[in-house]
Amino acid sequence: MKKWLLIMTIFTLGFLSFQPKHGSAQSGQSALQQVKNYKIYYSEPTTSILKKLRKYDLVVIEPQLYTKEQVQYLQESGTIVLGYISVMETPTWNEQRTELLLESDYFKRNENKVHYKQWDSYLMDISSEHYHQVLMDEMKRQVSSKGMDGVFFDTVGNIDNEHLEHHASIYKKQLDGLLSFLKKSNQKFPDLLMVQNWGMETIQHTHPYMDGFMWEGFDYNEVSTDEWAQVQINKLKKIQQMGKTQVLTVSTQSEQKSKNYAKKFNFLHYHDKKSYDVF
């Protein structure tokens, strides 16, 4: 009997020692609401970089550069790992995805593809059912199969930027396509956390699927006095108060002021004055 109690005690202590540093989310809440700090890092990891990343509660990484074992190494310290997936753009460097695309997956304006020279990427048509499958296959291959905790949906804001003000019917079609994709993704990967980057109008519709929303460019000198930014802050506060979606902010200027301003609204803040890939 004493031996059995000793074994159970050891097992219990061992289990507790491996509890994630962010704790478990309460009912109806995202685990992201327990996070205290995070880091964005898109470059290839080294042994030294991995050791630094695992000190954070949450990291956003480029999943194609990581092995399943490296992801597990990060998670051993309780770190939540989110894999980057570009939704509304396909960069040319993502050859695995490009090989799977059909012409109908690209968004075309005046019968021409929309190319972003700065990023060497193309605007996609999220209303395409085939493109939905391409994205979900990528999520399975690069995120789910590697044991990551969630996915970071980048470039969602392109729907607002490209269509909202001048193309209402196209905006609706793209928004409906995005919602359809998110519904499928949620059904296929119910355990994956989902975070959206930008898309201030779009998040008003997508937030039921989102555990987090990221606002890059949350610099105090800009957002504290800008009327549009104040409106967005109030909208995001309401979404966050619903209990599921955590708001994450990023600044590159006025570190302490930006951090304090974000804290005022219970937003989780991250400052990086140089580059995401520099510690």
Tell me how far CA of residue 205 lies from CA of 179, 209, 211, 216, 239, in angstroms: 8, 9, 13, 19, 10
User: Considering only CA atoms, which of 197, 219, 236, 202 is closest in space to residue 270?
Assistant: 219
Residue with tokens 């995401």: 276
- The answer to whether position 4 is within a domain reads no
Give the H/E segment covering residue 2.
helix 2-17
Confidence of residue 27 (pLDDT cuts 50, 70, 90): very low
3-class secondary-structure state, position 177: helix
Burial of 21 (0-12, 13-18, 19+ CB in 10 A): middle
Distance of CA 12 to the CA centre of its chain: 33
pLDDT of res. 171 = 97
Joined tokens for residue 57: 């509660």
> Is there a contact between 80 and 59 (Cβ–Cβ < 8 Å)?
yes
pLDDT at 17 over 60: no
Confidence of residue 28 (pLDDT cuts 50, 70, 90): low
Read off the pLDDT of residues 160-179 as tens digits, 9 standing for 90 and up: 999 999 899 999 999 999 99
- The answer to whether position 278 is within a domain reads no
pLDDT of res. 33 = 87
Q: Give this prediction's pTM.
A: 0.89
pLDDT of res. 5 = 42
More confident residue, 25 or 271: 271
The pairs formed by 257-262 with CB atoms below 8 angstroms and a separation of 24 or more are 257/220, 257/221, 258/218, 258/219, 258/220, 260/220, 261/218, 261/220, 261/223, 261/224, 262/218
Q: What angle do CA 141, 205, 162 make, to 5 degrees?
A: 80
- The answer to whether position 11 is within a domain reads no
More confident residue, 270 or 33: 270
Confidence of residue 158 (pLDDT cuts 50, 70, 90): very high
Here the CATH number for the domain that contains residue 147 is 3.20.20.70
Distance of CA 66 to the CA centre of its chain: 17
pLDDT at 16 over 70: no
Separation between Cα atoms, residue 195 and residue 109, nearest integer Å: 28
Read off the pLDDT of residues 106-124 as tens digits, 9 standing for 90 and up: 999 999 999 999 999 999 9
Q: Which domain holds residue 28?
A: 23-271
- The answer to whether position 95 is within a domain reads yes
Q: Which residues pair with 41 in a beta bridge?
A: 61
The tally of domains found in the chain comes to 1
- The answer to whether position 2 is within a domain reads no
pLDDT of res. 114 = 98
- The answer to whether position 62 is within a domain reads yes
Looking at every residue in the chain, the average pLDDT score rounds to 91
- The answer to whether position 191 is within a domain reads yes
Separation between Cα atoms, residue 92 and residue 53, nearest integer Å: 27
Report the percentage of the chain scoring pLDDT > 90. Answer: 85
Confidence of residue 13 (pLDDT cuts 50, 70, 90): very low
> Is there a contact between 242 and 210 (Cβ–Cβ < 8 Å)?
no
Cβ count within 10 A of residue 265: 14
- The answer to whether position 179 is within a domain reads yes
Separation between Cα atoms, residue 183 and residue 181, nearest integer Å: 5
Read off the pLDDT of residues 41-78 as tens digits, 9 standing for 90 and up: 999 999 999 999 999 999 999 999 999 999 999 999 99
